[in-house]
Amino acid sequence: MRLPRWFHLLGSPPFVYGLAGRLVPWLRAIAIVLLLVGAYWGLAVAPPDRVQGEVYRILFLHPQVAYISMMAYVVMAVSAGIGFIWRIKLAHAVAVTAAPIGTTFTACALATGAIWGRPTWGTFWQWTDPRIMSETLLLFLFLGYLALRAAFDDRDKADRVSAILAVVGVVNVPIIHYSVIWWNSLHQGPSFMKLDKPSIAPEMLTPFLIMIAAFTVCFYWLLLNGLRGQIVERERDTRWVKQLVGGREA
Amino acid sequence: MMEFLRMGGEAAYVWSAYGITLAVVLFNAWWARWTHQQALERARASLSETRTLKTPTVRQVE
pLDDT in tens, A143-175: 999 999 999 999 999 999 999 999 999 999 999
Query: Region A101-127: what's the mean pLDDT?
Result: 94
Query: Region B25-48: what's the mean pLDDT?
Result: 94
Instruction: Please give the residue that has the higher pLDDT: either A2 or B36.
Output: B36
Contacting A residues, span 40-59, partner chain B, CB-CB under 8 Å = 43-44, 48, 53-55, 57-58
Asked whether residue A249 is assigned to any structural domain, the reply reads no
pLDDT over 90 at A19, yes or no: yes
* Predicted TM-score of the model (pTM): 0.91
Asked whether residue A160 is assigned to any structural domain, the reply reads yes
Asked whether residue A228 is assigned to any structural domain, the reply reads yes
Contacting B residues, span 2-61, partner chain A, CB-CB under 8 Å = 4, 7-10, 13-14, 16-18, 20-21, 24-25, 27-29, 31-33, 35-40, 42-44, 46-47, 51, 54
Collapsing DSSP to helix, strand or coil, A187 comes out as: coil
Asked whether residue A10 is assigned to any structural domain, the reply reads no
* pLDDT mean across residues, chain A: 91
Asked whether residue A50 is assigned to any structural domain, the reply reads yes
Distances (CA, A) of A244 to A206, A241, A248, B31, B49: 44, 5, 10, 21, 16
Residue A8 has what pLDDT? 81
CA A234 to chain centre: 22
Q: How confident is the model at residue A1 (pLDDT cuts 50, 70, 90)?
A: low
ipTM for the predicted complex: 0.90
For residue B51, which residues of chain A lie inside 8 Å, CB to CB? 247, 249
Residue A199 has what pLDDT? 72
Collapsing DSSP to helix, strand or coil, A50 comes out as: coil
Query: Region A123-143: what's the mean pLDDT?
Result: 94
Q: How confident is the model at residue A2 (pLDDT cuts 50, 70, 90)?
A: confident
The number of distinct structural domains making up chain A is 1
Residues B17/B22/B28/B32 CA torsion (nearest 10 deg): 180
The helix (run of H) or strand (run of E) holding residue B33 is helix B11-54
What residue numbers bound the domain in which B53 lies? 2-61
Contact A107 B24 (CB under 8 A): yes
Q: How far apart are CA A148 and CA A157, in angstroms?
A: 11
The number of distinct structural domains making up chain B is 1
pLDDT over 80 at B56, yes or no: no
Distances (CA, A) of A233 to A29, A35, A90, A230: 26, 31, 12, 5
